């Protein structure tokens, strides 16, 4: 039986996002500069054993769901075996994956066999040229093959698309149309300034409201539907479509009041909000020989000092509040 874990604002914490690497085989311009980022030295990455220990501990404290993210999870060697080992953790109710889909196709049957709960596949454009411009790699055909294979295998799948000024506005309607003939949720995400450089914009043009207005031009009958508890996406249904449409106000941060997430970065920092700069160096404690009880105590102390919302977390940053790190070090 799981414990229930709460933060200092009474919000239950049940969901861990685990960034298993900061390395990636794409260079999405909203996530990192063309030349990539300064990768964390290999020995500074959490090892598989360290990650498994932390997941076990957090599950014993009340975490129920783990999302594997990165960087690109499958650029880390033996990732699928690590995921298989997580699937035997007692009390862990769901393993999910966020991936760019370039290397994922070869692992579909193993993902299915380990009982993956769902996969979020990132596709910002269905046009090969625009996809290559955004990701700086010509990999759309491979990503679409992965999408087909996921659907074929019956693995619940969601598409993630970041909406960017002057980059992929034309793709909103074609992407939304993918929810028609497949049981596929398509989610549009506000661009955040986590690109390794700092914001591309002074004022965000594609807010959740602007995205909704654009969808309404093609789908005037788009209907809001009740989202699941703790969901970050505002959810909508289009008449006759099998899947739903989601819009994630990731920059506007309207969902913080029910946020149930914590994050572990690839270098072993605990984040209790996407917008904080890391609130606990759990790797340092572990490598200094801390016992499970000591790690638990450190986690509990961080959970009881959690920022109220993403604006509060951003204001508490030490380096003048400026966000410029790459999302590939955080995991989204």
Residue 71 contacts ligand SF4 per CB under 6 A = yes
The entry of ligand SAM, ligand SF4, none near residue 32 (CB within 5 to 8 angstroms by kind) is ligand SF4
Indicate which single residue of 29, 74, 188, 194 sits in contact with ligand SAM (rule: CB under 6 A).
Answer: 194
Residue 178 contacts ligand SF4 per CB under 6 A = no
Number of residues that bind ligand SF4 (CB under 6 A): 13
SS (H, E, C) the chain: CCCCCECCCCCECCEEEEECCCCCCCCCCCCCCCCCCCCCCHHHCCCHHHHHHHHHHHHHHCCCEEEEECCCHHHCCCHHHHHHHHCCCCCCCEEEEEECCCCHHHHHHHHHHCCCCEEEEECCCCCHHHHHHHHCCCCHHHHHHHHHHHHHHCCCEEEEEEECCCCCHHHHHHHHHHHHHCCCEEEEEECCCCECCCCCCCCCCCCHHHHHHHHHHHCCCCEEECCCCCCCCEEEECCCCCCEEEEECCCCCCCHHHCCEEEECCCCEEECCCCCCCCEEHHHHHHCCCCHHHHHHHHHHHHCCCCCCHHHHHHCCCCCCCCCCEHHHCCC
CB of 213 to ligand SAM, least distance (A): 19
Residue 26 contacts ligand SF4 per CB under 6 A = yes
The entry of ligand SAM, ligand SF4, none near residue 192 (CB within 5 to 8 angstroms by kind) is ligand SAM
Residue 135 contacts ligand SAM per CB under 6 A = no
Indicate which single residue of 139, 171, 191, 309 sits in contact with ligand SAM (rule: CB under 6 A).
Answer: 191
Interface contacts to ligand SAM, rule CB under 6 A: 24, 30-31, 69-70, 72, 98-100, 122, 160, 162, 189, 191-192, 194-195, 250, 327-328, 331-332
Interface contacts to ligand SF4, rule CB under 6 A: 24, 26-28, 31-32, 70-72, 100, 122, 327-328
């Amino acid at each position: 039986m799981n414990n229930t874990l709460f933060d200092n604002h009474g919000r239950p914490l049940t969901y861990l996002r685990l960034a298993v690497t900061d390395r990636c085989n794409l260079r999405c311009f909203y996530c990192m500069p063309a030349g990539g980022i300064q990768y964390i030295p290999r020995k500074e990455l959490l090892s598989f054993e360290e990650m498994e220990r932390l997941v076990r501990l957090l599950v014993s404290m009340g975490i129920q769901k783990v999302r594997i993210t990165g960087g690109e999870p499958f650029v880390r060697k033996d990732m699928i075996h690590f995921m298989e080992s997580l699937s035997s953790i007692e009390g862990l109710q769901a393993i999910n994956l966020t991936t760019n889909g370039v290397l994922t196709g070869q692992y579909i049957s193993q993902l299915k066999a380990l009982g993956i709960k769902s996969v979020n596949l990132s596709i910002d454009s269905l046009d090969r040229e625009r996809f290559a411009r955004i990701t700086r790699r010509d990999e759309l055909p491979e990503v679409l093959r992965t999408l087909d294979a996921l659907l074929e295998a019956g693995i619940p799948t969601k598409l993630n698309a970041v909406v960017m000024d002057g980059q992929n506005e034309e793709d909103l309607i074609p992407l939304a149309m993918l929810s028609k003939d497949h049981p596929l949720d398509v989610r549009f995400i506000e661009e955040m300034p986590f690109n390794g450089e700092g914001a591309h914009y002074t004022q965000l043009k594609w807010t959740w409201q602007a995205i909704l207005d654009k969808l309404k031009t093609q789908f005037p009958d788009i209907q809001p539907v009740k989202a699941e508890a703790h969901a970050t996406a505002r959810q909508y249904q289009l008449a006759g479509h099998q899947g739903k449409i989601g819009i994630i106000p990731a920059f506007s941060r309207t969902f913080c009041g029910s946020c149930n997430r914590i994050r572990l970065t690839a270098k072993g920092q605990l984040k209790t909000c996407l917008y904080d700069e890391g609130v606990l160096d759990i790797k340092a404690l572990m490598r200094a020989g801390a016992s499970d009880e000591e790690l638990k105590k450190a986690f509990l102390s961080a959970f009881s000092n959690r920022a109220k919302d993403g604006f509060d977390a951003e204001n508490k940053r030490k380096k003048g509040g400026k966000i410029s790190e790459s999302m590939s070090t955080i995991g989204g």
